[in-house]
Amino acid sequence: MDKKEKSLLIKEFAIKEGFSFCGISKSGFLKEEAPRLESWLQSGKAGKMDYMSNHFDKRLDTTLLVPNSKSVISLLYNYYPTQKQVTETFKISKYAYGQDYHFVIKEKLNALLFRIREQFGDVDGRVFVDSAPVMDKAWAKKGGLGWIGKNSNLIHPKKGSFFFIAELILDIELEEDGPIKDFCGTCTRCIDTCPTDAIVEPYVVDGSKCISYLTIELKDELIPSEFSGKMNDWVFGCDVCQDVCPWNRFSTPHTEPLFQPHDDLLYLSKKDWNELSDEYFQQLFKKSAVKRTKKSGLIRNITFAQKDKK
């Protein structure tokens, strides 16, 4: 079986495991990304995400991360929901409605790797889903799964940007998919509507200003006062730059049962959010990514967001 046949078969396996799209690129050094990442880090745009500076060389070169690797298989998994939260409430990002994607997708990645080994024999490799120094958007772009938009999200031309990105990095040679064109054009909706002006220029996001950073990654007792009045009721993540993107008119609802929210989650009022008990928090967010903030972090975010209305 040649490289092309192997690649086509792997893509078939990926679809059977529930992935929406699969693209392949050659494992190696991300030459174009190196100066961008270095500049972004040195300018302080990572905020207090110190881990972004760790393993700098491995982050840019998958052959250092996975020795002897030949191919990077990039995969997209849809999380666009069938229903959204009621209006006039505290909001969480759509990706956190259901169970934590790390666990859901890792299981599917392992199943895909098992299929590949079953078909091709002793294949060495590793699976990744946002849990190691892999520049997943850059690899997905190289694999032809979309372009990186002005909001720094990967945008697929047929289905938008509401996707999780995952990788298999393997020691077998496969046929590469080339990158596609950037179709953002003159549109600046994401830049114009970002509540905290975190998109400081096209394709550059100051992470330290992003609501997702402020409500999830920032572990300080208080959110900086300069963002008071700008949270727009977001208390875990933010979807504004995706919601306004014209390409997301093509988004279609996912079919993953594990991404369905708790029955009550979409209908909570602001009063309900303020009165969350420890027990109810555990019920609502069982196996959810929201637990990353713990209840104390979520209450911090709600308290800060409420200042917007005073």
- Bridge partners (DSSP) listed for residue 91: 234
**pLDDT, tens digit, for every residue of 57-80?**
999 999 999 999 999 999 999 999
pLDDT band at 41 (very low <50, low <70, confident <90, very high): very high
CA 55, 61, 67: angle at the middle one, nearest 5? Answer: 95
Task: State what percent of residues in the chain have pLDDT above 70.
Answer: 99
**pLDDT, tens digit, for every residue of 187-217?**
999 999 999 999 999 999 999 999 999 999 9
Residue 141 has pLDDT above 90, yes or no: yes
The answer to whether 220 and 49 are in contact (CB under 8 A) is: no
The answer to whether 63 and 69 are in contact (CB under 8 A) is: yes
CA 96, 134, 173: angle at the middle one, nearest 5? Answer: 120
**pLDDT, tens digit, for every residue of 92-123?**
999 999 999 999 999 999 999 999 999 999 99
pLDDT band at 183 (very low <50, low <70, confident <90, very high): very high
**Average pLDDT along the chain:** 96
Tokens matching residue 167: 């990788």
Residue 246 has pLDDT above 70, yes or no: yes
The answer to whether 151 and 205 are in contact (CB under 8 A) is: yes
Active site residue ranges? 130
Residue 232 has pLDDT above 50, yes or no: yes
- Bridge partners (DSSP) listed for residue 77: 164
pLDDT at 90: 97
What's the burial of 67, exposed, middle or buried (CB within 10 Å: 0-12/13-18/19+)?
exposed
The answer to whether 159 and 145 are in contact (CB under 8 A) is: no
Tokens matching residue 130: 């946002």
pLDDT band at 310 (very low <50, low <70, confident <90, very high): very low
Residue 309 has pLDDT above 60, yes or no: no
How many other CB atoms are there within 10 angstroms of residue 110's CB atom?
13
